Amino acid sequence: MGGIPRHIGIIMDGNGRWAEKRNKKRSYGHKAGSENVQKIAEHAFTRGVEVVTLYAFSSENWARPKGEVEELMHLLGDYLKKLAAKAVKNGIKINVLGRKDRLSAKLNKIVAEQTAKTSGGKRILNILIDYGGRGELVHAMNALVESGETVTEENIGKHLYTAGMPDPDLIIRTGGEVRLSNFLLYQAAYAELYFTDVLWPDFDEAELDKALENFASRERRYGKIEC
């Protein structure tokens, strides 16, 4: 049975709708969503999870209106500083994973400084920014071609952003949509999927516990059959 997942991935969807329901701008929802990040990550770690990976900005999100993208980028930088200060105290290592070449110099500087502070942490919080699963595979394949390594599952894994980490056991998507949206495509091969209608800013500790209970009841067969 499932037990406690070592690695949880979360697609934090529904911030915009959460704000619209309150007659507020979408940015209000993103802010509320970012304030939920630390609470949920901490709770997962308290339950024994080792790695939490959050989808904060997909490579496809660049196509959103310019104003929303700018607000999101600003929020990510701002929130990362707050998150890193708490992470240092709580023994959490923050990684920002994804393409760096399209982020502003200012955000890249914040990312480098803030993540470096947390490098001693034992539990891992991955924040995906300008991330897409297909893009990650292209990046890994190019690295293999450059190094002349053979294409094997092991070698591909070494060049993914999540190299050295266990694959996600559980992927949660909030906000009612039932799809992966280019999230950890390669690593998700045997992940258990959990979808909830709850919008991300409303996804609290009790909701995470529900997802963990559901995971614990799953029978994981990895393609084998019961003997």
Q: Does 15 bind ligand FPP (CB under 6 A)?
A: yes
DSSP 61-83: GGGS-HHHHHHHHHHHHHHHHHH
**Among 76-84, 101-109, 155-163, 214-222, which window interacts with ligand FPP (CB under 6 A)?**
76-84
Measured between alpha carbons, how far is 46 from 73 in angstroms, rounded to an integer?
29
**Among 33-41, 43-51, 163-171, 189-197, which window interacts with ligand FPP (CB under 6 A)?**
33-41
| 100-129 positions binding ligand FPP, by CB under 6 A | 127
Alpha-helical segments (H) within 6-65: 15-20, 26-46
Q: Does 165 bind ligand FPP (CB under 6 A)?
A: no
Q: Does 14 bind ligand FPP (CB under 6 A)?
A: yes
**Are 29 and 76 in contact, with CB atoms under 8 Å apart?**
no
Q: Does 8 bind ligand FPP (CB under 6 A)?
A: no
Catalytic residue among 15, 23, 36, 61: 61
**Are 75 and 15 in contact, with CB atoms under 8 Å apart?**
no
Member of 34, 53, 59, 118 binding ligand FPP (CB under 6 A): 34
Q: Does 33 bind ligand FPP (CB under 6 A)?
A: yes
Measured between alpha carbons, how far is 204 from 38 in angstroms, rounded to an integer?
11
CA-closest candidate to residue 80, choices 103, 47, 64? 103
CB of 29 to ligand FPP, least distance (A): 6
Member of 10, 49, 80, 212 binding ligand FPP (CB under 6 A): 80
Strands 92-97 and 51-58: unpaired
Which amino acid is it at 25? Answer: K
Residue 13 annotated among the catalytic residues of the structure: yes
Signed CA dihedral, 103, 181, 157, 137: sign only: negative
Closest residue to ligand FPP in the complex (CB):
16
Residue 61 annotated among the catalytic residues of the structure: yes
- Residues serving a catalytic function are 13, 61
Q: List residues binding ligand FPP (CB under 6 A).
A: 12-17, 26, 30, 33-34, 37, 54, 56, 61, 75-76, 79-80, 83, 127, 175
